[in-house]
């Protein structure tokens, strides 16, 4: 069997065996022109007949099945990424219908533009029943039904635009050890911050990765009748808003906003106005749009309140500590948990040294899995290390995104670094870290 896998198609599924079966059946019609590919399905604790569907599909597809018991789409996709062997990794959902030339278009684009790491194709909603025209082409269609279609040309995407999560491709070497944040994306419960794929792609773009639109790599995305109704749209708007706000705060501010009394009154008045319009506007399209705006405001406020609560808990922990040494002792378990949960590894960073206010040192060994932390000095045979004091550590932990916070601290010159004995080997990777 040829092990030179060109494309790995990655998707996660949980208790959606009917949709999954249709998607895998459509995969059978994909044209590959002879290149090797694999389909990695990560079963996120399904209790329906997903296992039967996967068993039948394995008879006709180059299928690899992973089982992720920890709830959450991001956790499931991360597990699939750990075993992906393709030079290109294509991400999609369990309710799509790709065109026959879907993968060929991505492979061709990757060959024609070796300087580009990210590719995205169009996604067209496929409705079970005919919706109102507004849901086909309006603002709601993009956020609610993953509609993504630009011009018909192969073209570069501006920095502010990333492909939609139902249909994009990334070079495996550009992903490296980066994984999806488990703070975003579908998981247990009805409300959560959406946008795990968007946040993943923005992190890649922040590292200077280029993105191109591939019009021939098209998929359709199934939209069921219940997804056209008000309850589903309202919840979708809340999830979308929560994801947008969390991503924006983590990327630009590092901590949530404290709203003044006047700002709260203005938000309350705006919410009341949009709620009134969602009930009494003359046209159905207008009512849908105002209902979406109302629930977007609800999502913004709810997520900011939740992030503020989390921030205050950590601030309280800090105030209870009498010294930087105590801060380190209290925060180290949280830091190790964050490293483990996010499956994050700094590019070629082997150790992180934390320095207390009285000179005490704690060394985090990223070579261990999960990471470990011990008191003591940095090993003499270190390859690449970073050093931060208690204040820097607090900044990292409160940011919610270790990678992003460290990148900011590097740029500010607050974190010291040591290239170790193999400076030349690590220079390019270090520059990549600085651009994160």
- Asked if residue 37 lies in contact with residue 4, where contact means CB atoms within 8 angstroms, the answer is no
Domain check: are 223 and 235 in the same one? Answer: no
Per-residue model confidence (pLDDT) at position 77: 95
* 9's tokens: 């198609």
Omega before 387 within 30 of 0, i.e. cis? no
- Please list, in sequence order, all residues whose beta carbon lies within 8 angstroms of the beta carbon of residue 51, skipping any fewer than 6 positions away: 43
Least confident of 23-32, 92-101, 321-330: 321-330
The stretch 303-319 carries a mean pLDDT of 75
Q: Residue 1's pLDDT is what? A: 41
- H-assigned helices in 58-101: 73-83
Residue with tokens 């995969």: 27
Give residue 381's pLDDT. Answer: 55
% of the chain residues with pLDDT over 90: 35
- Examine the domain organization and report whether 263 and 249 are in the same domain: yes
Helix, strand or coil, per DSSP, at residue 118: strand
Q: 30-44, 170-184, 281-295, 318-332: which range is least confident on average?
A: 318-332
If you average pLDDT over residues 152-160, what whole number do you get? 85
In this prediction, residue 201 carries a pLDDT of 92
Higher pLDDT, 419 or 405: 405
How many domains does the structure of the chain reveal?
Answer: 3
Q: What percent of the chain has pLDDT over 70?
A: 66
> Are 150 and 278 within one domain?
no
Residue whose C-alpha is closest to residue 217's, from 119, 132, 117: 119
* Distance separating alpha carbons of residues 175 and 130, to the nearest angstrom: 39
Say yes or no: 191 and 46 in one domain: yes
Strand-pairing partners, residue 407, are none
Q: How far is CA 344 from CA 58, 86, 138, 247, 329, in A?
A: 31, 21, 37, 17, 21
Kindly state whether residues 61 and 210 are assigned to the same domain.
yes
Q: Are residues 71 and 161 in the same domain?
A: yes
pLDDT at position 76 is 94
168 and 106, same structural domain?
yes
Judged against a pLDDT cut of 90, whether residue 302 lies above it is answered with no
How many other β-carbons are positioned within 10 Å of the β-carbon of residue 387?
Answer: 17
Q: Which domain holds residue 295?
A: 231-319
**CA distances in angstroms from 420 to 115, 193, 297, 388, 424, listed in the order given:** 30, 40, 49, 17, 10
* Greater pLDDT, 76 or 364: 76
pLDDT value at residue 360: 60
In the prediction, which pLDDT does 203 show?
84
Checking phi first, is residue 413 left (phi over 0); if not, alpha (psi -120 to 50) or beta?
left
339-379 tens-digit pLDDT: 544 444 444 456 666 665 455 666 766 656 555 666 666 66
Does residue 79 sit in the same domain as residue 111?
yes
pLDDT tens-digit series, residues 242-283 = 988 888 887 776 677 776 666 666 667 776 777 776 677 777
Last-in-domain residue among 319, 352, 383: 319
Contact criterion met (CB below 8 Å) for 148 and 142: yes
Quick one: 336 and 423 in the same domain? yes
**Same domain for 335 and 218:** no
Single out the residue of 302, 317, 320 nearest to residue 398, CA to CA: 317
Phi, psi dihedrals of residue 141, rounded to the nearest 5°:
-60, -35
Across 169-178, 188-197, 302-311, 325-334, which has the greatest mean pLDDT? 169-178
Highest mean pLDDT among 132-141, 172-181, 254-263, 350-359: 172-181
Instruction: Tell me, yes or no, whether 266 and 140 share the same domain.
Output: no
**Confidence class for position 160, pLDDT limits 50, 70, 90:** confident
* Better-predicted residue by pLDDT, 184 or 354: 184
Beta bridge partners of 9: 39, 90
CB proximity list for 371: less than 8 A, separation 6 or greater: 336, 339, 340, 364, 365
Mean pLDDT (whole number) for 37-48: 95
Kindly state the helix (H) or strand (E) to which residue 66 belongs, with its residue range.
strand 63-67
Q: What is the mean pLDDT of the chain?
A: 78
- Provide the pLDDT for residue 396: 60
Give 435's pLDDT tier (boundaries 50, 70, 90).
Answer: very low
Domain harbouring 416, CATH code:
3.30.1050.10
Q: Is the pLDDT of residue 399 over 60?
A: no
Q: Which of 227, 252, 284 is a domain's end point?
A: 227
Across residues 299-320, what is the average pLDDT?
A: 76
* Same-domain pairing of 79 and 145: yes
Q: What is the CATH number of the domain that holds 35?
A: 3.90.550.10
Q: How many CA atoms lie within 13 A of 167 on its CB side?
A: 30
Domain end residue (candidates: 273, 294, 319)? 319
Q: Which of 27-36, 289-298, 299-308 has maximum average pLDDT? A: 27-36
Instruction: Kindly report the pTM of this predicted structure.
Output: 0.74
């Amino acid at each position: 069997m040829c092990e030179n896998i060109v494309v790995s198609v990655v998707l996660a599924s949980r208790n959606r065996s009917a949709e999954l079966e249709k998607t895998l059946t459509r995969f059978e019609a994909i044209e590959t022109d002879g290149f090797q590919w694999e389909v990695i399905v990560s079963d996120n604790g399904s209790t329906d007949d997903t296992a039967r569907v996967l068993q039948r599909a394995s008879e006709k597809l180059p299928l690899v099945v992973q089982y992720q018991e920890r709830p959450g789409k991001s956790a499931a996709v991360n597990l699939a990424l750990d075993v992906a062997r393709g030079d290109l990794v294509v991400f999609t959902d369990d309710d799509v219908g790709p065109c026959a030339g879907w993968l060929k278009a991505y492979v061709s684009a990757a060959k024609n533009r070796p300087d580009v790491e990210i590719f995205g194709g169009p996604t067209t909603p496929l409705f079970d029943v005919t919706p109102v025209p507004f849901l086909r082409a309006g603002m709601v269609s993009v956020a609610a039904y993953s509609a993504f279609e630009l011009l018909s040309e192969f073209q570069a995407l501006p920095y502010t635009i990333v492909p939609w999560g139902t249909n994009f491709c990334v070079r495996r070497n550009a992903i490296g050890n980066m994984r999806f944040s488990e703070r975003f994306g579908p998981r247990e419960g009805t409300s959560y911050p959406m946008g795990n794929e968007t946040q993943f792609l923005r992190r890649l773009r922040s590292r200077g990765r280029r993105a191109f639109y591939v019009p021939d790599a098209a998929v359709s995305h199934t939209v069921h009748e219940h997804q056209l109704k008000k309850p589903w749209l309202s919840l979708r708007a809340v999830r979308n808003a929560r994801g947008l706000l969390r991503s924006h705060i983590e990327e630009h501010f590092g901590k949530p906003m404290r709203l003044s009394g006047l700002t709260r009154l203005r938000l309350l008045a705006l919410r009341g106005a949009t709620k009134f319009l969602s009930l009494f506007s003359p046209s159905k399209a207008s009512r849908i749009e105002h209902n979406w705006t109302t629930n977007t405001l609800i999502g913004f406020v709810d997520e900011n309140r939740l992030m503020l609560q989390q921030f205050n808990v950590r601030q309280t922990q800090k105030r209870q500590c009498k010294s930087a040494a105590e801060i380190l002792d209290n925060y180290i378990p949280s830091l190790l948990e964050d490293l483990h949960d996010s499956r994050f590894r700094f590019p070629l960073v082997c150790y992180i040294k934390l320095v207390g206010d009285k000179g005490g040192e704690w060394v985090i060994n990223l070579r261990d899995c999960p990471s470990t932390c011990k008191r003591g000095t940095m090993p003499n045979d270190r390859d690449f290390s970073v050093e931060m004091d208690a204040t820097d550590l607090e900044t990292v932990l409160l940011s919610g995104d270790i990678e992003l916070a460290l990148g900011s601290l590097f740029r500010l010159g607050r974190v010291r670094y040591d290239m170790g004995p193999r400076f030349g080997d690590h220079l390019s990777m270090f520059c990549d870290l600085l651009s994160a």
